[in-house]
Amino acid sequence: MSDHHFDANATIEWYDRYSDKYDEDTFQQSDDNYGGDLYRLKLIEKLLPELGCDTVLDAGCGTAEPLLALLRQGLTVRGFDFSPGMIRQGKNKLLENNLDPDLIEVADVTDEAIVDHFGRNSFDAVVANGILPYVEDVEKAHTNLSALVKPGGYYISAYSNELLDLSTLNRFTVAFHKRNFIDPLPIDQESSAALLGGIEKLITNPDVPKNIYKSARNEIYLRADNPLTIGNELKKFGLHQIDILFYKYHAFPPLLSELSDEFKKIFVQNSRSYEIERAKDWRGYFLASTFIVVCRKD
Ligand SMILES: C[S@@+](CC[C@H](N)C(=O)[O-])C[C@H]1O[C@@H](n2cnc3c(N)ncnc32)[C@H](O)[C@@H]1O
C-alpha cells in the first residue's frame, strides 16, 4: 500500500516518464539489481504451456517484453496498456523484431469497451501481470478481464502482497497493524491511539523507510492485496483459484540489507535462491512482495 491516492493521470504520466528505463530496471539483473519481475515472466512462460493455453491477452503489457517472450514460445498474444509511452516502447520493439506493432494498443482495463473490442469469451488465458496494483476499481478490472476469458480458460493475475508488511519490521508493519488489527477493534479512539503508540515502541524503526529503492510505491497509488483472501474475492467473477505462486522474495527484512554493501549482495543472492523453485513455499505468504493467482473460469 503506498501513501498516495489514486490518480489515473499521475500513473499514466509516471509510466510514460519511466518507459525508457523500465526494461533495464525490471528485467536486468546484477549483484545489487534484483530484477525480480523477471521471475514473474519466467513463471508465466512455464505456466501457460502447462495449462495448454494458445491464445493469450496480456493486460497492462507495458513495454511488451513479456508479450515478445510468449510470441517466441509460439503463443498467439495481444496486449494493451494505458500508458502511451510504454506502448510506444513496445511497438518499437515489435518492429525491430519484424513483428506486427498492432499486436499491442493503448486501452484502459477499467473501460468496459475492451470486452467487445477484444472479444467476450475469446482467450484461453488473460494475464494481468503487475497491472492490478495500480488500479483502484479492481472489481471493474476483474469484471472486464474475466469476461474476455473463454469458459474453462484461465485468469492469471498478479498482486502486491500485503502480508509482506508484517515481516519488514518498519513503518509498513505499523500501518499493517493499524489497518488490519487495531482499527477493527471495538475500542475508543484514545485506546486505539495508545495501542498504536505501543506497537511503534515495539518496533525499532517505526518511521522508516522514507523511500523504497526504485519503487513506484514512493510516488503513485499502489494497492496491496491479501493472498489468504484473494481466491474468495475472485469467486463472484466465476473464477476458481487453482494455484498461487510467489515471487520477489525478501530473504530477510530489507532494512538489514542496508547494513553494508556486502549485506546488499547477500540480500539479493539469498532472496533469489527462493525464486521459481520455491514459488509455492508457504514462506512466500510472508517474504514475497508479489504473487500470482491462477484461476479457472466456470
Ligand atoms: C509493473 S508494469 C507491468 C508491465 C508488464 N505486464 C510486465 O510484466 O513487464 C504495470 C503496467 O500496468 C499499466 N497500467 C496501470 N494501470 C492500468 C490501467 N488502468 N489500464 C491499462 N494499463 C494500466 C501501466 O501503464 C504499466 O505499464
- Residue 62 Cβ contacting ligand 1 at under 6 Å: yes
**What is the grid cell recorded at 59?**
493486460
Are the C-beta atoms of residues 134 and 62 closer than 8 Å to each other?
no
- Residue 60 Cβ contacting ligand 1 at under 6 Å: yes
Question: Could you report the per-residue pLDDT of 42-56, keeping only the tens digit for each?
Answer: 999 999 999 999 999
Alpha carbons 263 and 253: distance in angstroms, whole number? 11
Cβ-Cβ contacts under 8 Å for 243 (sequence gap 6 or more): 280, 293, 294
- Residue 109 Cβ contacting ligand 1 at under 6 Å: yes
Q: Which residues of 275-296 are buried (b: 16+ CB within 10 A; e: fewer)?
A: beebbeeeebbbbbbbbbbbbb
* CA-proximal residue: ligand 1, atom 8 (nearest): 129
Q: Using 50, 70 and 90 to split pLDDT, how confident is the model at 214?
A: low
Q: Which of the pair, 29 or 183, is modelled with greater confidence?
A: 183
* CA-proximal residue: ligand 1, atom 25 (nearest): 83
- Residue 15 Cβ contacting ligand 1 at under 6 Å: yes
Question: What is the pLDDT, as a whole number, of residue 25?
Answer: 87
Ligand 1 centre to CA of 80 (Å) is 9
Alpha carbons 216 and 61: distance in angstroms, whole number? 17
Question: What is the pLDDT, as a whole number, of residue 213?
Answer: 64
- Residue 134 Cβ contacting ligand 1 at under 6 Å: yes
- Residue 144 Cβ contacting ligand 1 at under 6 Å: no
DSSP state for residue 278 in the 8-state scheme: T
Question: What is the pLDDT, as a whole number, of residue 1?
Answer: 65
Judge whether residue 65 has pLDDT over 70: yes
- Residue 161 Cβ contacting ligand 1 at under 6 Å: no
Ligand 1 centre to CA of 126 (Å) is 14
Q: Cite the DSSP H helix spans in 28-185.
A: 37-50, 65-72, 84-96, 113-118, 138-148, 164-167, 171-176
Report the SS3 class of residue 240.
Answer: strand
Domains of the chain: 8-160+211-297 (3.40.50.150), 171-207 (no CATH)
**What is the grid cell recorded at 146?**
474475466
Q: What are phi and psi of 287, to 5 degrees?
A: -110, -15
**What is the grid cell recorded at 107?**
486501452
Q: Which of the pair, 24 or 51, is modelled with greater confidence?
A: 51
Alpha carbons 176 and 179: distance in angstroms, whole number? 5
Which of 153, 86, 107, 157 has the alpha carbon at shortest distance from 128? 157
Mutate to test the pocket of ligand 1, among 134, 139, 143, 160 (most ligand atoms within 8 A of CB): 134
Segment 130-151 mean pLDDT: 97
Pairing of strands 149-160, 123-128: parallel
Question: Could you report the per-residue pLDDT of 82-117, keeping only the tens digit for each?
Answer: 999 999 999 999 999 999 999 999 999 999 999 999
Question: Mean pLDDT for the chain?
Answer: 95
Ligand 1 centre to CA of 212 (Å) is 19
Which of 26, 74, 45 has the alpha carbon at shortest distance from 245? 45
- Residue 19 Cβ contacting ligand 1 at under 6 Å: no
Q: Using 50, 70 and 90 to split pLDDT, how confident is the model at 35?
A: confident
Ligand 1 centre to CA of 209 (Å) is 25
**What is the grid cell recorded at 129?**
501481470
Single-letter code of the amino acid located at 236: K
Question: What is the pLDDT, as a whole number, of residue 4?
Answer: 83
Question: Could you report the per-residue pLDDT of 248-271, keeping only the tens digit for each?
Answer: 999 999 999 888 889 889 999 999
Ligand 1 centre to CA of 289 (Å) is 17
Report the SS3 class of residue 84.
Answer: helix
